[in-house]
Amino acid sequence: MSATVDQSVPALSLRAVRKEFGGVVAIQEFSLDVHRGEVVALVGDNGAGKSTLIKMISGIHPPTSGEIALDGQPVKLSDASVARRLGVEVVHQDLAIADHQPVFMNMFLGRELVTGPFRRLDKKRMARETQALVDELDVRIPSARSIIRDLSGGQRQGVAISRATHWARNLVLMDEPTAALGVAETAKVEELILRLRERQLAVLLVSHNLDQVMRLADRVAVLRRGVQIGTRVTAETDKNEIVSMITGLQNADA
């Protein structure tokens, strides 16, 4: 760990966060800290509340009650743009990238660099900075000027993760980032996730792939029907215990 990183202050802190939609409780009181340089996996069956929790942290849904803090400061994430300004980036399963634009334009989507009195797009600088980042992260694409639609699924996911790496100052949320990828492309994306940890970013990873969770995560938080079942240190548990917590075949305390 870097000596400049204060591990005593979580990058993300959730305190008794609750979400209701009308009379339906989607998330009961959920609490979790995620530190810089740490990957925490969020697991549970479909409908467990994982996506709802991610949407609260990314500013899409406000919590009904409870507190969200970034770097120790309570925040009100009124919409996704506020979360982004506070250094939170999301890598979605559907990527949220523009197929007909080059890689460098996707890297700066919504944050385009401009130059001169007429504020023209500074495409050269954006391409240069994008190429430097994908080279550093070893994202193997033909060029920063390649059109997204011409890339493979793994390359596209690499671009999405590179964009998150470039802009995140605090936290990267990853929602099933390898669900649509083959074995080789999944392995490459997993390497990128570990690079985020090396760069002292906090990563909250949603995944149904428990083998992947056990490979990547430092800790695993389990949700079942909106209830926080428990959190385990990966090195101190195994896949069977996590499956039992997800399915409710045994009692598990946080």
**Residue 30 is part of a domain; what is its CATH number?**
3.40.50.300
CB 148 within 8 A of CB 159: yes
**30 found inside a domain:** yes
**176 found inside a domain:** yes
pLDDT mean over 240-245? 96
Q: Examine the pLDDT at 94 and tell me if it is beyond 70.
A: no
**241 found inside a domain:** yes
pLDDT digits (tens, 9 = 90+) for 6-24: 668 999 999 999 999 988 9
- The DSSP secondary-structure symbol of 8 reads T
**197 found inside a domain:** yes
Task: Give, in degrees to the nearest 5, the angle at Cα 68 between 66 and 70.
Answer: 160
Q: Examine the pLDDT at 244 and tell me if it is beyond 80.
A: yes
Question: How far apart (Å, rounded) are the C-alpha atoms in residues 1 and 72?
Answer: 19
Model pLDDT, residue 183:
87
**Confidence band, pLDDT 50/70/90 cuts, at residue 65:** very high
pLDDT digits (tens, 9 = 90+) for 137-181: 888 899 999 999 999 888 888 898 888 888 888 899 999 888 878
Structure tokens of 20?
């209701």
| Domain extent at residue 196 | 12-98+170-247
Q: Examine the pLDDT at 44 and tell me if it is beyond 90.
A: yes
E-strand ranges in the chain read 12-21, 24-34, 38-43, 65-70, 73-75, 88-91, 114-115, 120-121, 171-175, 202-206, 219-224, 227-233
CA atoms within 13 A on the CB side of 76: 2
Question: How far apart (Å, rounded) are the C-alpha atoms in residues 245 and 127?
Answer: 46
Helix (H, G, I), strand (E, B) or coil at 93: coil
**61 found inside a domain:** yes
pLDDT digits (tens, 9 = 90+) for 189-207: 898 899 889 989 999 999 9
Q: Which of 41-45, 64-68, 109-113 has the lowest mean pLDDT?
A: 109-113
| Nearest Cα to Cα of residue 101 among 129, 120, 126, 138 | 126
For the chain, give the mean pLDDT: 89
**216 found inside a domain:** yes
Helix (H, G, I), strand (E, B) or coil at 17: strand
**138 found inside a domain:** no
Question: How far apart (Å, rounded) are the C-alpha atoms in residues 43 and 230?
Answer: 10
Model pLDDT, residue 248:
85
**190 found inside a domain:** yes
Edge-first strand order for the sheet with 65-70 is 24-34, 12-21, 65-70, 73-75
Q: Examine the pLDDT at 240 and tell me if it is beyond 70.
A: yes
DSSP β-ladder status, 171-175 and 12-21: unpaired
Query: How many domains does the chain divide into?
Result: 1
Q: 207-220 burial by CB neighbour count: b if 16+ within 10 A, else e? A: bebbebbbebbbbb
